[in-house]
Amino acid sequence: MKYLDEFRNGDQAKTLVARIAGLVTRPWAIMEVCGGQTHSLIRNAIDQILPPEIEMIHGPGCPVCVTPLNMIDKALEIAARPDVIFCSFGDMLRVPGSRADLLRVKAAGGDVRVVYSPLDALKLARENPGREVVFLAIGFETTAPANAMAIKLAKQQGLKNFSALVSHVLVPPAIDAIMNSSGNRVQAFLAAGHVCSVMGFLQYHPLVQRYKIPIVVTGFEPLDLLDGIRRTVQQLEKGEAFVENAYSRVVTEVGNTVAQVAIEEVFQVTDRGWRGIGVIPYSGWSLRDAYCDFDAEKRFNVAHVETEEPAQCRAGEVLKGAIKPHECQAFGKACTPRTPLGATMVSGEGACAAYYNYGRYVQITKVAHT
């Protein structure tokens, strides 16, 4: 199949659901890691047409959602400076910090600009030599190659007025943290296809061996997800556990080695804070010493900024799969897309936003299969 509409075929979806129903003999809890997969599951009501034995647990794979609160506050402090052009992807502008968001900083006079690539920020730095241009470099492994290349080009071009506020996070350590968290119920994972298109899936083999859990690399369309769930259930029912690639049209075992070289040159592994979760060891990237001149956190002396999560927001529990969004008492009341308490309600990949946008205000009973 070549085209997206082929992966949205209703008849084939029914066939896959029937095959899953024919496999399952007991309850299974499967986590889809990626927020894009969560939105596809909820938008297409896949979680509702699956056999009742299958529970989909929504994971922490939304890069906007897991960017820690103190990093947002650092971004706000830098963006408010009159000498700064602050560049970000659009999905970060409404993410709440402890007192404001980037849109409010912009409304107050800050020069906050939406860009579609870190190369746009480089262009602004060249065009505005008298001002500091800062790019908010967040994301999982998917966005790291482009961000690494922008920083590398800034050094090559001698751009002294360009820097990046880096908050990259990594998927495998998050899976490790979830499996070691108290009350964890996850028995298998759907891995994010776009992350694996960059990094491959070699790094998942040790997790499978350590925890004896299936990990299936999966795409984002309805048939991708249903096929990934089918393969996962098949492994679980047989008592097997291995890494399986259900997204071979995009993903290889070794991934994009050229992109990996660029990442390795610019970034180094570091401990990283995750919003609502806390610090996960070796779960992020920071700039190597050779590129420290482009570190906005050091350039603007904001490393000291520390904040606390609002007590009313349970986004951390949502991100760990401990609760569903509608189980938070603030969901749809104190916390809405207009008045968000956490990033999971405003991000285009946030689980809370998915539940709100697609009407999951209350627990919905699964459709019974006949």
Residue 282, H or E segment: strand 278-287
pLDDT at residue 305, rounded to an integer: 82
Asked if 228 and 190 touch (Cβ cutoff 8 Å), the reply is yes
Q: How many domains does the chain have?
A: 1
Give the global pTM. 0.91
Beta bridge partners of 254: none
Residue 37, H or E segment: helix 35-43
Amino acid at 290: A
Distance CA 86, CA 140 (A): 21
pLDDT at residue 226, rounded to an integer: 97
Distance CA 72, CA 70 (A): 5
Beta bridge partners of 191: 217
CATH of the domain at 278: 3.40.50.11740
Is residue 76 in a domain?
Answer: yes
Residue 124, H or E segment: helix 118-127
Contacts of 239 (CB under 8 A, 6+ apart): none
Query: What is the chain's pLDDT, residue by residue, as a tens digit (370 residues)?
Result: 566 778 888 899 999 999 999 999 999 999 999 999 999 999 999 999 999 999 999 999 888 899 989 999 999 999 999 999 999 999 899 999 988 999 999 999 999 999 999 999 999 999 999 999 999 999 999 999 999 999 999 999 999 999 999 999 999 999 999 999 988 999 999 999 999 999 999 999 999 999 999 999 999 999 999 999 999 999 999 999 999 999 999 999 999 999 999 999 999 999 999 987 889 999 999 999 999 999 999 999 998 887 877 788 898 889 888 899 999 999 999 999 888 888 899 888 899 999 999 877 654 444 444 3
pLDDT at residue 363, rounded to an integer: 47
Is residue 249 in a domain?
Answer: no
Is residue 83 in a domain?
Answer: yes
Is residue 224 in a domain?
Answer: no
Is residue 291 in a domain?
Answer: yes
Of 233, 254, 238, 252, nearest to 190 (Cα)? 233
What is the C-alpha R_g of the chain?
A: 21
Asked if 171 and 33 touch (Cβ cutoff 8 Å), the reply is yes
Range of the domain at 153: 65-170+256-299
Q: At what angle do helices 10-23 and 222-238 cross, to 10 degrees?
A: 10
Is residue 312 in a domain?
Answer: no
pLDDT at residue 361, rounded to an integer: 62
Which two structure tokens, joined as six digits, stand for 162? 């360009």
Is residue 347 in a domain?
Answer: no
pLDDT at residue 93, rounded to an integer: 93
Which two structure tokens, joined as six digits, stand for 193? 């296809």
Is residue 71 in a domain?
Answer: yes
How many other CB atoms are found less than 10 A from the CB of residue 348? Answer: 14
Residue with tokens 């298998």: 188
